[in-house]
Amino acid sequence: MALIVDKSKELLAEGHSSAIGFYTSGQLFIEEYYTLGVLGKAGLGTPHMDGNTRLCTATAGAALKLSFGTDGQAGSYADLDTTEAVLLVGHNMASQQTVLWARILDRLASVNPPLLVVIDPRLTYTAQHATVHLAPRAGTNVAVLNGLLHF
């Protein structure tokens, strides 16, 4: 942190506030965005402020709308209560969507559990519960998905 403070002071002293930028999470409250805006733009004078909400979430919403006609979930979480298989590609649901993962664990412990297929090079907690864990080598994910599409 001391290095960041020292370098920021150095850039500001040289009049290079535009050399400082902020990339924020989409998880902040409105008051936190406001405070960050005041600090970054009014305080430091940087025009370089961007975040996950524009560069990730907005593009994901646009892709969902093009693919499925809606910018929300293409299916219902209730579908997990009756599905025969769940496919997770590069997604460690156990650590990223813990409430939904609890729902999957309930199904896996049920009388009629779904198949859980995890495609992820990492042996995550999610992958440890998989019926099938496919761990492709780095850089082969497109080939794996193309293979599935053309199977």
| pLDDT, tens digit, 9 for 90 and up, residues 8-36 | 889 888 888 888 988 887 777 889 888 99
Task: Give the full edge-to-edge strand order of the sheet including 132-134.
Answer: 85-89, 115-119, 132-134
- Residue 62: inside a domain, yes or no? no
138 & 85 share domain: yes
In a domain, 71, yes or no: no
pLDDT at 106 over 90: yes
Residue at 117 is within a domain: yes
> Looking at the 3D structure of the chain, how many domains does it have?
2
Q: What is the pLDDT of residue 54?
A: 74
Domain contains 69: no
Task: State pLDDT tens for residues 84-104.
Answer: 999 999 899 999 889 999 999
Residue 38 confidence class, pLDDT cut points 50, 70, 90: very high
Secondary structure of residue 51 in the 3-state scheme: strand
H helix or E strand, kind and range, residue 134: strand 132-134
pLDDT over 90 (residue 65): no
Domain hosting 40: range is 2-55
* Cβ within 8 Å of residue 124, ≥6 positions away: 92, 94, 95, 118
Q: Are residues 138 and 81 in the same domain?
A: yes
Specify whether 36 is located in the same domain as 87.
no
My answer on whether 90 and 144 are in the same domain is yes
Q: Residue 73's pLDDT band (boundaries 50, 70, 90)? A: confident
